């Protein structure tokens, strides 16, 4: 009798770009795959700012993990949260249960970083999850509603002031979209305010926005934002956020901005799994808490544990670690999937190399900047490239269709159909109470 060995079990934690691409690449491999995520869907994060600004619906940029992986008969999806790892026993500890692995891939990503000012989180939310996006959407559209009802000039201006902290791609995209809302889609909707008087401030600590891009592209992005109505302030550090006042330092000067809507796009820190790995395996972390990985994306002394995506610090290429962007995560996921299969056959693979096809950031409905390395593009052509790249990488075909249609529609109508104020606070009562409004007859 021939002994039947149970297949090699690959456990993947996290269904973002890294984890999902690893799982997909293992779909026909002679292994058993378990993908664990605490959400039941993959989120196309590059378009999350469009949910936050009312252009797209959550479902447009989300794909149920089970649906994406349904054809992979060797793969199961588990809606669970990983709380710990036992690298000796080769198992992960779940909130409800445990699970054994032969190979473990950790791809749990990053969350917001407030650099020691975690109490700013409630006042200045960041944008990482669907819930973040819906709460930012509520904040933005409630601000216009509150301004419409406010008769005090100064308070009204504070409702119409939007501060975005951080001039990276997310900050640039948010600022551009809010400017388009104020100057475009909402222009005719109010009777007591002029939404084009809204002030949108983009604050960046360094001397130019989009720091990872070539300086010419940064300059072009700033010019485009200014034209859209965004006030770009570089060399500007936020020193305090309090009571709807942002205190900033420019050189030696401190000043205050009165704003009711403050959004955080300034930094990320590693998810909790980084710390778990450090404790359980002596993996080394960088200052942001990311795990420093080997040239094959495994961690030292643990060739069966891989870290990929935003959680990984890959220092073996170029003079800086690879950036935390979707293409890096995808390629890392695919590399590890290949490596596992090679090892099972007794083969070796060369170390991981990231192939850089370029970077892109969108500024408004017509403008973007694209850096292909050998070529820099900005303006409408760059925007078209951005559109097609994003449609192309959307996971599901029906999402592609819906998003294309929605974009086409928004493009020609400047519409924002998804600007619903939902959730418990849809009346914004608590924010309006801040004004200490007495019962007054509303002027009509």
Q: Which stretch binds its own copies (CB under 8 A): 226-234, 341-349, 385-393, 423-431?
A: 423-431
Tokens of 83: 């709380």
| DSSP assignment letter at 182 | I
> In the complex, what is the shortest distance from the CB of residue 132 to its own copies, in angstroms, rounded to a whole number?
11
Dist. CA 49–CA 178, nearest whole Å: 10
> In the complex, what is the shortest distance from the CB of residue 45 to its own copies, in angstroms, rounded to a whole number?
14
Size of the site for its own copies (CB under 8 A): 76
Q: Are the CB atoms for 21 and 330 separated by under 8 Å?
A: yes
| DSSP assignment letter at 279 | H
Positions in 148-187 near its own copies (CB under 8 A): 148-149, 186
Q: Which stretch binds its own copies (CB under 8 A): 98-106, 203-211, 232-240, 345-353?
A: 98-106
Helix (H, G, I), strand (E, B) or coil at 438: coil
Q: Is there binding between residue 423 and its own copies (CB under 8 A)?
A: yes
> In the complex, what is the shortest distance from the CB of residue 240 to its own copies, in angstroms, rounded to a whole number?
29
> In the complex, what is the shortest distance from the CB of residue 61 to its own copies, in angstroms, rounded to a whole number?
10
Q: Is the CB of 190 or the CB of 380 nearer to its own copies?
A: 190
Q: Is the CB of 45 or the CB of 313 nearer to its own copies?
A: 45
Q: Is there binding between residue 420 and its own copies (CB under 8 A)?
A: yes
List phi, psi (to 5°) of 51.
Answer: -75, -40
* ∠ Cα 270 273 277 (to 5°): 110
> In the complex, what is the shortest distance from the CB of residue 368 to its own copies, in angstroms, rounded to a whole number?
24
Dist. CA 85–CA 277, nearest whole Å: 7
> In the complex, what is the shortest distance from the CB of residue 216 to its own copies, in angstroms, rounded to a whole number?
37
Please tell me which residue in 24, 145, 150, 173 is annotated as part of the active site: 173
Residue in 201, 194, 202, 200 with CA at minimum distance from that of residue 153: 194
Q: Is the CB of 158 or the CB of 385 nearer to its own copies?
A: 158
Q: Which of 2, 4, 5, 97 binds its own copies (CB under 8 A)?
A: 97
Q: Is the CB of 357 or the CB of 409 nearer to its own copies?
A: 409
DSSP 284-314: -B-TTSPEEPPTTSEETTEEEEEE-GGGEE-
Q: Is there binding between residue 63 and its own copies (CB under 8 A)?
A: yes
* Annotated catalytic residue 3: no
Q: Which residue has the tokens 């509603």?
A: 145
Q: Is there binding between residue 81 and its own copies (CB under 8 A)?
A: yes
Q: Is the CB of 65 or the CB of 377 nearer to its own copies?
A: 65
The two beta strands, 103-106 and 302-307, are parallel
Q: Is there binding between residue 196 and its own copies (CB under 8 A)?
A: no
> In the complex, what is the shortest distance from the CB of residue 47 to its own copies, in angstroms, rounded to a whole number?
14
H or E element: which one contains 235?
none
Q: Which of 1, 419, 425, 434 binds its own copies (CB under 8 A)?
A: 419
Dist. CA 41–CA 36, nearest whole Å: 11
Dist. CA 333–CA 366, nearest whole Å: 33
Positions in 379-408 near its own copies (CB under 8 A): 396, 398-399, 401-402, 405-406
Q: Which of 288, 391, 418, 434 binds its own copies (CB under 8 A)?
A: 418
Q: How far is CA 28 from CA 31, 92, 213, 373, 394, in A?
A: 8, 24, 38, 35, 22
Give Cβ neighbours of residue 392 (< 8 Å, ≥ 6 apart): none
Q: Is there binding between residue 197 and its own copies (CB under 8 A)?
A: no
Positions in 304-333 near its own copies (CB under 8 A): none
b/e map of 85-108 (b: 16 or more CB within 10 Å)?
Answer: bebeebbbebeeeebebbbbbbbb
Map residues 22-61 to x or -, x wherever contact with its own copies holds by CB under 8 A. Answer: ----------x-x---xxxx---------------xxxx-
Q: Which of 94, 123, 245, 384 binds its own copies (CB under 8 A)?
A: 94
Q: Which residues are marked as active site? A: 173
């Amino acid at each position: 009798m021939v002994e039947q060995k149970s297949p090699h079990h690959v456990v993947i934690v996290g269904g973002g770009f890294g984890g999902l691409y690893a799982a997909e690449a293992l779909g026909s491999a002679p292994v058993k795959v378990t993908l664990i995520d605490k959400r039941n869907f993959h989120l196309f994060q590059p378009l999350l700012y469009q949910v936050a600004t009312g252009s797209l619906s959550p479902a447009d940029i989300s794909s149920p993990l089970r649906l994406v992986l349904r054809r992979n008969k060797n793969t199961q999806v588990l809606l669970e949260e990983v709380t710990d790892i036992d690298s000796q026993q080769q198992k992960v500890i779940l909130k409800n249960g445990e699970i054994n692995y032969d190979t473990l891939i950790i791809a749990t990503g990053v969350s917001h970083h407030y650099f020691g000012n975690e109490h700013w989180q409630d006042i200045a939310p960041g944008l990482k999850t669907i819930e973040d996006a819906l709460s930012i959407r509520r904040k933005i559209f409630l601000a216009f509603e509150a301004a419409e009802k406010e008769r005090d000039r100064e308070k009204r201006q504070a409702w119409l002031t939007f501060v975005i902290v951080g001039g990276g791609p997310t900050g640039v995209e948010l600022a551009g979209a809010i400017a388009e809302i104020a100057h475009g889609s909402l222009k005719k909707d109010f009777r007591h305010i002029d939404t084009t008087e809204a002030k949108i401030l983009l604050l960046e600590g360094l001397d130019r926005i989009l720091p990872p891009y070539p300086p010419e592209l940064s300059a072009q992005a700033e010019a485009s934002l200014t034209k859209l109505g965004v006030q770009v302030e570089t060399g500007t550090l936020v020193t305090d956020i309090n009571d709807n006042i942002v205190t900033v330092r420019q050189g030696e000067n401190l000043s205050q901005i009165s704003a009711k809507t403050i959004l955080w796009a300034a930094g990320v820190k590693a998810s909790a799994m980084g710390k778990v790995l450090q404790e359980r395996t002596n993996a080394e972390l960088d200052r942001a808490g990311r795990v420093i990985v080997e040239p094959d994306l495994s961690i030292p002394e643990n060739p069966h544990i891989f870290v990929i995506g935003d959680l990984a610090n890959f220092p073996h290429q170029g003079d800086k670690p690879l950036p935390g962007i979707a293409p890096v995560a995808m390629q890392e996921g695919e590399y590890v999937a290949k490596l596992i299969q090679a090892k099972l056959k007794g083969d070796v693979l060369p170390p991981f190399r990231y192939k850089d096809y370029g970077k892109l950031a969108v500024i408004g409905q017509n403008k973007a900047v694209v850096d292909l390395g050998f070529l820099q593009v900005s303006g409408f052509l760059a925007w078209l490239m951005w559109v097609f790249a994003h449609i192309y990488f959307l996971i599901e075909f029906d999402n592609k269709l819906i998003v294309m249609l929605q974009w086409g529609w928004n493009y020609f109508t400047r519409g924002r159909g998804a600007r619903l104020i939902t959730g418990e606070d849809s009346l914004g009562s608590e924010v309006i109470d801040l004004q200490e409004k007495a019962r007054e007859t509303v002027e009509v």
